[in-house]
């Protein structure tokens, strides 16, 4: 081999060595079990967004189990909270309460307490709510708390359960601008529904009807049959209370809409409520 050719080969070898040294090594692939845990949680979130709460709860439970097997307590608790949220959406409030109460991580305490308050309110345990709300106010009392809107809304729900209509309105209306800024459409609809019920209690049927229809518009956009049925039930109640000409017919029409939505979605309890309201309104 000519010396010139040998020199060129040496230069090529050096250049390749320099390229190899200059490039950063590829990160090792994620372990299979961790990838599986992440995938299960992702599927759970997707199912929840689609309204398939039963499948979501199963996936989050599996995600929590897998993360525990990896000794990742924070990730397991995150999955457990999402499981509790899914169970609450299924009407399994006691189960949701148990799972939310198991979360001990400081970084997840606000979310865990919020879920516990929701579960206790669903179970009708108003007395058990106050200590939880007190802890929440300590942890999330400042305007900088990202869960401030939800806290105000839960305070409104607690006030409603305790019969304090004025406080219900005050807290729900205070929650609205915060929830709007965060684009929390589900919670915004919940706030409007609560405002509508409170306005109905004060016999302000015009404001109550406007609030209920706002909630209905949002729930339709979100495609939430249970909420839509509840909105129509509330609208029927408001129309019955209004006492204006044609109110009876308007109320019956609203109850029929609630009944048809509930039946189509397989929501038997809501369908029974709508049927009962329809019979009462026709008397």
Are the beta carbons of 181 and 146 closer than 8 angstroms? no
Specify the pLDDT at position 232.
Answer: 98
Name the 3-class secondary structure at 74. Answer: helix
Residues 115 and 96 in one domain: no
Specify the pLDDT at position 49.
Answer: 85
In a domain, 218, yes or no: no
Greater confidence (267 vs 24) lies with: 267
DSSP 177-236: HHHHHTT-HHHHHHHHHHHHHHHHHTT-HHHHHHHHHHHHHHHHHHT-HHHHHHHHHHHH
27-31, 75-79, 249-253 — which is least confidently predicted?
A: 27-31
Q: Is residue 243 scored above 80 in pLDDT?
A: no
**Averaged over 127-132, what is the pLDDT?**
94
In a domain, 65, yes or no: yes
**Averaged over 143-170, what is the pLDDT?**
95
Domain that holds residue 168: 106-183
Cβ-in-10-Å burial (0-12, 13-18, 19+) of 18 comes to exposed
Write the DSSP symbol of residue 23: S
Q: What average pLDDT does the structure give for the chain? A: 89
In a domain, 17, yes or no: no
- The number of distinct structural domains making up the chain is 2
Q: Report d(CA 95, CA 92) in Å as an integer.
A: 6
Q: Is residue 5 scored above 70 in pLDDT?
A: no
Which CATH number covers residue 66?
1.25.40
Greater confidence (13 vs 228) lies with: 228
pTM for the complete prediction?
A: 0.82
């Amino acid at each position: 081999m000519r010396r010139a050719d040998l020199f060129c080969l040496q230069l090529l070898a050096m250049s390749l060595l320099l390229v190899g040294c200059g490039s950063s090594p590829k990160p090792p692939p994620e372990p299979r079990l961790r990838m599986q845990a992440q995938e299960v949680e992702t599927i759970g979130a997707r199912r929840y967004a689609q309204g398939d709460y039963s499948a979501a709860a199963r996936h989050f439970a599996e995600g929590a189990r897998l993360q525990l097997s990896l000794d990742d307590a924070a990730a397991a608790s995150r999955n457990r909270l999402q499981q509790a949220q899914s169970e609450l959406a299924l009407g399994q409030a006691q189960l949701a309460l148990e799972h939310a109460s198991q979360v001990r991580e400081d970084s997840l305490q606000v979310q865990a307490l919020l879920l516990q308050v929701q579960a206790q309110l669903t179970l009708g345990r108003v007395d058990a709510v106050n200590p939880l709300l007190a802890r929440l106010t300590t942890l999330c009392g400042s305007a900088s708390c990202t869960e401030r809107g939800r806290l105000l809304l839960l305070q409104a729900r607690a006030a409603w359960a305790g019969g304090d209509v004025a406080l219900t309105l005050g807290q729900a209306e205070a929650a609205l601008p915060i929830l709007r800024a965060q684009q929390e459409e589900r919670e915004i609809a919940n706030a409007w529904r609560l405002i509508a019920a409170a306005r109905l209690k004060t016999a302000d049927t015009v404001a109550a009807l406007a609030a209920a229809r706002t909630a209905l518009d949002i729930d339709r956009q979100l495609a939430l049959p249970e909420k839509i049925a509840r909105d129509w039930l509330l609208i029927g109640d408001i129309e019955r209370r209004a006492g204006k000409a044609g109110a009876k017919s308007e109320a019956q029409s609203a109850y029929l809409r609630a009944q048809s939505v509930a039946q189509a979605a397989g929501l038997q309890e809501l369908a029974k409520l709508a049927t009962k309201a329809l019979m009462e309104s026709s008397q």
